[in-house]
Amino acid sequence: MRRISAVLAFAAAASAQPPVILISVDTLRADHSKTPAIEGWVSHGGTRFSNIVTQIPLTLASHTVMMASQYPYETGVEENAGSVPKGVPTLAGVLKGRGYRTAAFIGSIFLEKELGLDQGFDTYDSPFSFGAFSKLSGELLFAGGARNSYSVRERRPAALVFRAANAFLAAHKGEPVFVFIHLFDMHKPWRAPTYKAQSELVDQALGGFEQSLKREGWWDKSLVVLTADHGEGLGEHGESDHGYFVYQSTLHVPLVVHWPVGAAMAVNPDRPGGLVDLAPSILDFLKIPQPASFHGKSLFSGPGPTAVFAESVYARDAFGWAALRSLRVGGLQYVDAPKPELYDLDKDPAERENLIARRPADAARLKSQLATYKVAAKPTAAQAGDPARRKEVLESLGYLAPGPAGVGSGADPKDRLPDLIRYEEALDKMAERRYDLAIASLRTILARDPGNLLVRRDLGAALVESRKFAEAAAELQRVASASPGDYITRYELGLAYEGLSKFPEAKDQFDAACKLAPAAAQCLSAAERVAAKINGKR
């Protein structure tokens, strides 16, 4: 009798704690989310929020915002090569503390467990690992035995992610669960020939998951939330992918909510908001107070956010150009840049007409409001190390010297877009082993922007591949002096010295790289290789 009472009590508790399933479709633009399965959620009593943006258009940084409800500059996670601070309160942690079984099923290395987003999850299913960070480029590197250090991508398809999630749900029927599902299929490279075709494949997988939830009795009782961490440029404003600009093409994300049967909330689907508001909204639905550290506001009830902040610091951290920050208030979007921008999104959703000169009072008002977001000054990777030595090295590169406006010192990313495109084309040439063409392109960029350490580093790597070891060493030495904590620089410089038969110097560089990335098998192997050459000479 006591056991039956306990079971009934557990069932009652579970009914008071509706299951929560959060699905993030990485890189899904809001305007490409009106596909059959997703539209089916909306047409059958769900809600599509039409004005939601990410706070930062990069995978790890955006998902940290989603889970921690803090701005990127607060957690310090502003790049993919980052780490979520230990002990930061998260949505998963709050729900776990309320008796939920919490589980995450991850589709990409960019949310690998080692990066710290697993905090609060009982189960964190991310079958990936990486060997190293690159502080200059924000890359995660396998750094395994393969020779090509640029082979850094890893993912698993939606079908396998959903299979793992379904297995967890089958094992925890009747329990209050929070399940986070991350799909990476929309991220380049696509399996399908176009972005649209890829979105249709993902939609089919979502439809299949919905059917499995219905078969197993989860659908009617669950709060199911679908969103994305960021969009994709698709050539708009000259941006092919994401992370560089802060336009709506990469900021605007879908947010679609399927409510448990009989529990739909009366909401304003057109109110502007951000992913920082997602965790507070879910807790609001569950009637759970949000932690003091959560800075978002519920989109489901109350006044909601009055302003929506976003940023991108990739151009700053990777190239030494300017960071971008934006603020939306009502229909106005202000972009703080060396050449600021103002758009009326109600009339100009594609942001084609910059109103900065025509509406200076509005621009000044939003700029003043943006200044209330206490963004901490953060040194770039290029600024790490001894200040005096750094200044000496950067002056030698032309980084601090007079020259073309903004060269290597906070240039507006709009003005540097041709260099970004040329840089990306050079990386494509490297992947195709057309190193001479890559070298020529990288040198063209450096002629205009001599303080660009990332471009100089990759020039050094291309020279190594071309077996031009002396030239490679000269370029990589300059980068290592200014940015000593970059794994790729140290590793490639070791290869350059090895190619010059300077084995002790090569060993020093490989050892330094291995200290930066103890799990990097390629580095350990290289250090052992040159050590054997040194010993063989004795």
The DSSP code sequence of 176-238 is -EEEEEEE-TTSSSPSSSSHHHHHHHHHHHHHHHHHHHHHTT-GGG-EEEEE-S----TTGGG
Question: What does the radius of gyration of the chain's CA atoms come to, in whole angstroms?
Answer: 25
Query: In Å, how far from its chain's centre is CA 153?
Result: 14
Helices (H), 248-359: 248-251, 278-286, 314-319
- pLDDT recorded at residue 136: 80
Nearest to 160 by CA among 115, 197, 128: 128
pLDDT digits over 76-116, tens only? 999 888 889 999 999 999 999 999 999 999 999 899 998 99
Q: Where residue 209 falls among pLDDT bands split at 50, 70, 90? A: very high
Average pLDDT over residues 58-70: 97
CATH tag, 2-301: 3.40.720.10
Nearest to 293 by CA among 84, 17, 81: 84
Q: Where residue 213 falls among pLDDT bands split at 50, 70, 90? A: very high
Structure tokens at 79: 């790049």
% of the chain beyond a pLDDT of 90: 77
Is residue 153 over pLDDT 60?
no
Q: What is the DSSP letter of 296?
A: -
pTM given for the model: 0.88
Is residue 497 over pLDDT 90?
yes
Is residue 408 over pLDDT 50?
no
Q: Which CATH architecture has domain 387-537?
A: Alpha Horseshoe (1.25)
- pLDDT recorded at residue 376: 60
Average pLDDT over residues 241-265: 96
pLDDT digits over 444-480, tens only? 999 999 989 999 999 999 999 999 999 999 999 999 9
Q: What residue segments make up the domains of the chain, in order of their start?
A: 2-301, 387-537
Report whether the peptide linkage leading into residue 360 is cis, meaning its omega lies within 30 degrees of zero. no
- The least confident of 39-48, 349-358, 520-529 is 520-529
- Residue 108, CA distances (Å) to 90, 271, 318 in order: 20, 31, 22
Structure tokens at 516: 């930066």
User: Is there a contact between 496 and 485 (Cβ–Cβ < 8 Å)?
Assistant: no
User: Is there a contact between 534 and 507 (Cβ–Cβ < 8 Å)?
Assistant: yes
User: Is there a contact between 442 and 455 (Cβ–Cβ < 8 Å)?
Assistant: yes
Q: What is the DSSP letter of 31?
A: G
Q: What is the mean pLDDT of the chain?
A: 88
- The least confident of 230-244, 298-312, 378-392, 490-504 is 378-392
Calculate the dihedral angle through the C-alpha atoms of 422, 423, 429, 434, rounding to the nearest 10 degrees: 90
